[in-house]
Structure 1
């Protein structure tokens, strides 16, 4: 399998990661939800906006660590997930409806109020991954930088506020998640082989199939399949998950490198309006779907929340939500947008 290699590293990469690690440690000591990723993101983002010379983009370093998180999230799938078929069927309708409504509402706001051109507004409004939408929007002739900034603002705001609000409302301690208590010594040699194979093979196959967010989704799907079949119960150790969260957080924060304050404010002020609009749509859908699914309102909202698949799934893991249900729903949403929205755009042209 052909796997992308890491880019050439400079002294700024370890410096950025050290800064991100420090931010994660501070948030961890404050017992904030999703501390390592949230702290790493905030530290890197503020350093980037202050134009500190030690900060550089770490997004190219994200794929291997996204694969680790994919394997981790896949390990939460157990045979009992099959009993949730009816819930997923109901959620499929809610996901489709909320995704379409989010796209329509976002497009109307960005086109008519923010004044974005048609292509930029379309791809910036889609509740999918930053990288995929920015790339496809740029190829279609849109403003790739604005698309990326809108998505970065959307995901960043959700990653900041959703864990904090959930922590206040549900009073959970994200430091005590079961998967976050395993040490390297708890994992047998055969299990290490399983974990490595799941990450490498899952990523390679997904990349060959040109799946969106292949480094995470491929290992996640393969890990979920293997754990559902009962072939292994292995999951990555706590320290590896922490490192992966720090890298993911630094990648989110470093999206703001070389961003001028004027452009950031122009984009952020629209993001500050757009995120409540999208959340309002998803909250309404969660209120309707919740009683039909038989899950708490908080869990159902996480299944519909228009954040990144990796980030929303990690929030579910940290907050002891039904991770398998949230991951499955987020995958459906991301695949729906990546394949449905882009195909629709091509047809409209």
Structure 2
């Protein structure tokens, strides 16, 4: 009963955030509004968590939404992705070196704490490494959470400034039948569980994307996801991002917030420079490549791609590849230092 009450509270806060963001005309309000509102509530002292079944439902829904937009034309352009992956890997190296050095020089972080705080993604992996190294786990956690929240809020504004759209895609196209949605959901859940066992990043989201893509490309199913399912999924995603600040006091934030926002701005600027190289050389839309290169959360950035009505398959592929690259890159930069035994 307590969990139901807590869930109702966080969803109510998220909904208020979405309404306020919509009223003031903030970009991507169903994602950014809940993220900001729940973050503020968490810093104010509220203990906010979401039940994993609800989060998993939202992830699958967003994955299914992506699959409806994967067309034969999208598959045809996939031949350009390897070159983009190479530039993405280079950008991650530059981002980690530049931002970690900034943290050491401007904020006095030790080497390990700086490198782990600078890692542009893979939060759970980074925190597990922190426990084995002589690093300040609290600083790493807060800085990484600020990165995800800040990029979620900054990118829609940047895209709007560039003349892009950040509203939900039009439902002028035919929507999927309820039975088709239910069947794809069940298949997506099964695929997601399999991917989890195989340790695929963002397994449930990828599961929804794979099943939905297959059924649409083969013509088994047609139509897009209705907004009445997409909007709650984005709201839950925003609430999940904001819930990372639950229990974080203003005192805890004081020493890390400036560092977190500074490296987020620096990382975003560097990612944007590398994205511009790919956009120009491959003739791809800058908004699409920017969303694929910025170091935000995988699920949040893929959801953003749906909201921005750009190629979500391109974005998803790059963010999943980013996690695989970081799996090798972070230990490589850290070296083999272990926490001293006491």
TM-score by length of 2: 0.88
Structure 2: unaligned runs, 5 residues or longer = 338-342
1:178 partnered with 2:149:
no
DSSP-derived class of the 2:221 partner: coil
DSSP-derived class of the 1:51 partner: coil
Q: 1:324 to 1:179 in 2, by over 3 A?
A: farther
DSSP-derived class of the 2:131 partner: helix
Question: In structure 1, which of residues 41, 52, 55 is the aligned counterpart of residue 35 of structure 2?
Answer: 41
Hey, what does 1:344 align to over in structure 2? Answer: 332
- For 2:137 and 2:191, the matched residues in 1 are separated by 29
1:58 partnered with 2:46:
no
How many angstroms does 1:305 deviate by?
A: 0.9
- What pairs up with 1:188-337 in 2 under 5 angstroms? 188-198=178-188, 200-233=189-222, 235-337=224-326
Higher mean alpha-carbon deviation, 230-239 vs 118-127, is at 230-239
- For 1:197 and 1:21, the matched residues in 2 are separated by 29
Hey, what does 1:20 align to over in structure 2? Answer: 14
Task: Answer whether contact 1:66 1:215 (CA < 8 A) is retained.
Answer: yes
- Which digits, 9 at most, give the CA deviation of each residue in 1:74-103, with x for residues without a partner? 332222122213421221121111111111
- For 1:8 and 1:266, the matched residues in 2 are separated by 33
TM-score by length of 1: 0.86
1:117 partnered with 2:116:
no
- For 2:285 and 2:167, the matched residues in 1 are separated by 18
Task: Answer whether contact 1:286 1:300 (CA < 8 A) is retained.
Answer: yes
- For 2:314 and 2:172, the matched residues in 1 are separated by 19
Q: 1:229 to 1:148 in 2, by over 3 A?
A: farther
Higher mean alpha-carbon deviation, 282-291 vs 264-273, is at 282-291
Hey, what does 2:161 align to over in structure 1? Answer: 168
- Which digits, 9 at most, give the CA deviation of each residue in 1:248-272, with x for residues without a partner? 1111112111112122121110012
Structure 1: unaligned runs, 5 residues or longer = 1-6
Task: Answer whether contact 1:28 1:35 (CA < 8 A) is retained.
Answer: yes
How many angstroms does 1:343 deviate by?
A: 5.0
How many angstroms does 1:15 deviate by?
A: 0.8
Q: When the two structures are aligned, how many residues end up with a matched partner? A: 336
Task: Answer whether contact 1:33 1:318 (CA < 8 A) is retained.
Answer: no
How many angstroms does 1:136 deviate by?
A: 3.6
Hey, what does 1:4 align to over in structure 2? Answer: none
How many angstroms does 1:303 deviate by?
A: 1.7
Higher mean alpha-carbon deviation, 112-121 vs 146-155, is at 112-121
Root-mean-square deviation over aligned CA pairs: 2.6
